[in-house]
Amino acid sequence: MKRCSGVNRPEMRDAHLVNGQVLDILSRDPVWAAYAIADLRQDLALHCRWLVAPDASGLALLYFGLEPPILLTSGSREGVAAALAGADLPEELFLSVLPSHLPAVEQDYQHVVPRKMLRMVLPQGRPVPAPDLAARRLSQADASHLFDLYHHGGDYAPDAFDPSQLDDGYFIGIDDEDGTLAAAGGTHVSLRTEVQSLTKESFGSLEQVITRGVAAIGNIYTRPDRRGRGYGKAVTSSIARALQKDDFCVIVLNVDSQNLVARSIYEKLGFNLHCHFIEGFARKTR
């Protein structure tokens, strides 16, 4: 997922309350809305601003925890357009939107450089093959090693890693013979149960999803000189199995539509294609 690094976070914005309309819209497609649902987590919700269509047919989430802010959309095409209409929007955004929502965004952001992405999901109960290589859980003590690993770069190198993601406990690494990281990955976000403190009402299926857990796997990377040896597959398998062991019910990941090797690996691990979507930086029309 192409996002700016969260190392230098912007000033925290006022929290915006989440009401039943927001949760109802998110519940219509929790696999697509997984990132927005995970942003209900108390520490992330402080950076969120929710825009909802008057008839509750769509929403836009502005997440100010990274720079530039991220725009995520959910609901119908008309609902997203209505949610954005007349809103006070930032000059620059990073988009994560469905193709059908892009025309609504382009009403305000004409300079869009889109990147075609795939959202994949691991069906509940589907066994994930055990990794062929030994891997270990990573902690905050490994943050500098992860930065060193990702610094090797390349077309699909992670640029959305923040050390705070290690606190979720699902980062996995494979060490080289000399003790350096050869491959690693983890979760961009994860959420369980905390959202229950946001409201006393019941929101049906979404409440059950959140209670069980939502997680987005990401930052999967293998050092260039170790590629083709199954490291990425072993890391992804280890993360997915750890999430399954903890009974997460929505487990998703994103992959560039042109990254056929990665997509093949994820399919072999049991992930299915859920939808196509668009990522990319956008600048407001002046």
- CA 181 vs. chain centroid, Å, equals 23
C-alpha 275/C-alpha 148 separation (Å) is 33
Name the domain count of the chain.
2
Is residue 245 one of the residues assigned to a domain?
yes
Is residue 71 one of the residues assigned to a domain?
yes
Q: At what angle do helices 260-268 and 231-245 cross, to 10 degrees?
A: 40
Q: Which of 117, 140, 165 is the last residue of a domain?
A: 117
Share of the chain above pLDDT 70, in %: 89
The yes-or-no verdict on residue 4 having pLDDT over 60 is no
Is residue 1 one of the residues assigned to a domain?
no
Is residue 204 one of the residues assigned to a domain?
yes
Is residue 153 one of the residues assigned to a domain?
yes
pTM of the model: 0.89
pLDDT tens digits, one per residue of 212-248: 799 999 999 999 999 999 999 999 999 999 999 999 9
Query: Residue 209 — very low, low, confident or very high, per pLDDT cuts 50/70/90?
Result: confident
**How many Å is the Cα radius of gyration of the chain?**
18
The yes-or-no verdict on residue 265 having pLDDT over 80 is yes
C-alpha 22/C-alpha 45 separation (Å) is 13
Predicted local confidence at residue 17, as pLDDT: 62
Out of 13-22, 84-93, 94-103, 266-275, least confident range: 13-22
Structure tokens at 58: 């769509």
CA nearest neighbour of 173 among 251, 215, 246, 231 = 231
Structure tokens at 143: 């943050």
Q: Return the DSSP state at 54.
A: T
pLDDT tens digits, one per residue of 35-74: 999 998 888 888 999 999 999 999 999 999 888 999 999 9
pLDDT tens digits, one per residue of 139-188: 999 999 999 999 999 888 888 888 999 998 899 999 998 889 999 999 99
The yes-or-no verdict on residue 9 having pLDDT over 80 is no
Same domain? For 202 and 262 the reply is: yes
Query: Residue 16 — very low, low, confident or very high, per pLDDT cuts 50/70/90?
Result: low
Same domain? For 135 and 86 the reply is: no
Same domain? For 149 and 195 the reply is: yes
Contacts of 223 (CB under 8 A, 6+ apart): 149, 152, 176, 181, 182, 183
The yes-or-no verdict on residue 203 having pLDDT over 80 is no
Same domain? For 141 and 219 the reply is: yes
Q: Which of 100, 117, 134 is the last residue of a domain?
A: 117
Q: How many CB atoms sit inside 10 A of residue 75's CB?
A: 26
Same domain? For 143 and 160 the reply is: yes
Is residue 12 one of the residues assigned to a domain?
no
Predicted local confidence at residue 285, as pLDDT: 79
Domain containing residue 105? 20-117
Structure tokens at 68: 């530039």
Same domain? For 51 and 143 the reply is: no
Predicted local confidence at residue 159, as pLDDT: 80
Same domain? For 151 and 259 the reply is: yes
Query: Residue 3 — very low, low, confident or very high, per pLDDT cuts 50/70/90?
Result: very low
Predicted local confidence at residue 2, as pLDDT: 36
Same domain? For 30 and 139 the reply is: no
Contacts of 9 (CB under 8 A, 6+ apart): 65, 66, 67
Query: Residue 204 — very low, low, confident or very high, per pLDDT cuts 50/70/90?
Result: low
Predicted local confidence at residue 110, as pLDDT: 80
